[in-house]
Structure 1
């Protein structure tokens, strides 16, 4: 067996005579690393999970990329563009684009006997991707859309249903204002709840043909296209590639197109989400520093406790480098043990929360009803590698204390 490893194991187990502080010191050092690793894993998992959940909710209402008229204004009363099947195929061929769907919007007002609420009709076609809304539906079902016949159904949020005292199957009168007031009656087919009040209280999902009629558009006129991308991290590049495709497209009536990514349409929310990255980094740095200083303290105590042993080994001819290696090996042993149990407990909590959701949140404050969890193997590897490197670098300095111990004074040390 390697001599340095043998001595380190003896110190850890208390097998070498001394003041017998090694056992408690090692346990405290291991516990510090375990606690730090658990906190870091949970911080990263919940921070990334929160970002992912909120991002998916925003994208569910607005897609990754929108292609709209070049003179598109910021209101929901939009300028139309012509539907073009060739353009749709060109956008689908862009790397990163997975789905293309039409949309049209129309602002209006819901008025019941006792209440009224301003809303925006969001018209969608049969090709609409309902995967997000399937996850937030609380009552009823999604809209039944087909190419042959337009639907008179709508999806409204739980917030609107509560305010207006509406249920699935109720008829909803809506009013739209242009040169004259236009009234339409719709039937509620489903109720959803995304826990995002700003969006829930705004959008009502409806057949796109209903919006086209309200806007006095022909069947080939729409507000624009919504594109769903595969990887959010590459969204800016995908958006640029889509912009190159649509920038050269000019319709027969002279309308030009432009693109908007979800980050451009919702800059406040994504700016707020980006701040979470800084919070996670600050937490990780603080935890690693605390764990590192905890290890420094433990190593110094172990060195001072074994001063007599160090003097004897030096007197027997052992050099400073192998002696330093003894204590660095002991520190590495403590670190690995702490990381093992820290990963086990941290990942165990994350998996349990992911499957059972036992830690609840108030949706009114956090926009989610349970603590979200999102982790990848890369996150875990980076956390562990970063912790090992940081703690090891912090251990090098205290290990030089061994070289300053005089054999004569150390042997006489009590």
Structure 2
């Protein structure tokens, strides 16, 4: 039988203790722990949710990995590659590769009677995965792209539609510069759908339509494209997947064939992902401060408990209990009390996260934050790690004030009582 654990449990569940002064101080300490854990849960959920939301939007526009012509620069006017590549089957068979799809991009300009807006026309084929744009579609329908005739339907963002005063089913005129031509080529298109992701930087840039339109504008053959988009199952594994794809492409390369290269989404938009990585530092600062506050709350509470229980400590010492055994009693008791504070912190923190996640109570300005509301990412693993880390750190720190027990003299305490 664990004697120290038995004594600490009796002290914890003893109703007579509730009338003592220490219980009021303990309640304040527990409130601090509960508040600290609530702040930590909400902070982690907000930051990870924000990072996930922004990351998914960037990937939705550009996929995880792109396979393009080596001669293509960082602009959206690209060099063509053949759609018939010998390595495609091997790339699709790689673990972690969810989908591979052809695409093409071409910068252009939408002109109305009153306004002009620069855009990037992204062309896709009939097998394109529309899941991302379908999720953010607010009006109309997706372009009805097929494998036969060219389709003039395009998907336009709500921001561009507002800037140019356009609405669903309106016809727009898009101008493109091709090669060294002085006179731009004109293409009339119809707005079949309007989307809004809240990521204004991309919303005001991309319109999505038929890949065959770009092939015609660039005088490309039917099998020529800008490149391939590779969608991975796990964002955090894209560096490894990219390296495997690169090795496959090199192994299939033939002499005098076009040279291809790969680029991950983190290298295409480094400024965005560098900014997101900085947010991790903010989370760590919050976590460290909240754990320190919780630990000091319990240290003060434990000192009060020790002072109120000096008589019991003196009796236990007189009966032969060693100092470390008595210290364990109070450490166990503090862990029980910390657990109660963590329970309330979990209840309040999870409730706030779930309410915001499903009801979007707190709204944001997408022009400043790239999202319409505060995003929440609820993760059981994060929740368990926060609780485990808090209780382990506070328990270790509580060993320090328990050292004062060794300074208590049993004869003086018993004589005083």
Give CA deviations for 1:80-138 in whole Å, capped at 9, x if unaligned.
00111533222101221110111111111111000001111111111111101011111
Q: CA deviation at 1:197?
A: 1.6
| Secondary structure of 1:242 counterpart | helix
Matches of 1:72 and 1:247, distance apart in 2: 18
Give CA deviations for 1:234-263 in whole Å, capped at 9, x if unaligned.
111011111111223447863110000000
2:382 corresponds in structure 1 to 379
| Secondary structure of 2:378 counterpart | coil
| Secondary structure of 1:100 counterpart | strand
Q: CA deviation at 1:39?
A: 1.1
2:284 corresponds in structure 1 to 281
Question: Where do residues 262-301 of structure 1 align in structure 2 (5 Å cutoff)?
Answer: 262-301=265-304
Matches of 2:142 and 2:266, distance apart in 1: 27
Question: Where do residues 215-230 of structure 1 align in structure 2 (5 Å cutoff)?
Answer: 215-230=218-233
Q: How many residue pairs align between the two structures? A: 414
Matches of 1:388 and 1:244, distance apart in 2: 47
1:192 corresponds in structure 2 to 195
Matches of 2:52 and 2:68, distance apart in 1: 26
Give yes or no for the alignment of 1:347 onto 2:339: no
Note if contact 1:156-1:190 (Cα within 8 Å) is conserved in structure 2.
Answer: yes
Which stretch shifts more, 248-257 or 66-75?
Answer: 248-257
Which stretch shifts more, 56-65 or 348-357?
Answer: 348-357
Q: Is there any run of 5+ residues in structure 2 with no aligned partner, and where?
A: none
Q: Give the structure-1-normalised TM-score.
A: 0.95
Q: CA deviation at 1:29?
A: 2.2
Q: CA deviation at 1:7?
A: 3.7
1:133 corresponds in structure 2 to 133
Q: CA deviation at 1:19?
A: 8.6
1:365 corresponds in structure 2 to 368
Match for residue 305 of structure 1 among 305, 308, 322: 308
Give CA deviations for 1:210-244 in whole Å, capped at 9, x if unaligned.
01111110101100000100011111101111111
Give CA deviations for 1:165-216 in whole Å, capped at 9, x if unaligned.
0001000011112312211110000111111121111111110000111111
Q: RMSD between aligned alpha carbons?
A: 2.0
Q: Is there any run of 5+ residues in structure 1 with no aligned partner, and where?
A: none
Match for residue 340 of structure 2 among 324, 337, 341: 337
1:48 corresponds in structure 2 to 48
Q: Give the structure-2-normalised TM-score.
A: 0.94
Give yes or no for the alignment of 1:182 onto 2:185: yes
Question: Where do residues 9-408 of structure 1 align in structure 2 (5 Å cutoff)?
Answer: 9-12=9-12, 20-84=20-84, 86-178=86-178, 179=181, 180-250=183-253, 254-408=257-411
Matches of 2:59 and 2:349, distance apart in 1: 30
Matches of 1:61 and 1:171, distance apart in 2: 24
Note if contact 1:96-1:231 (Cα within 8 Å) is conserved in structure 2.
Answer: yes
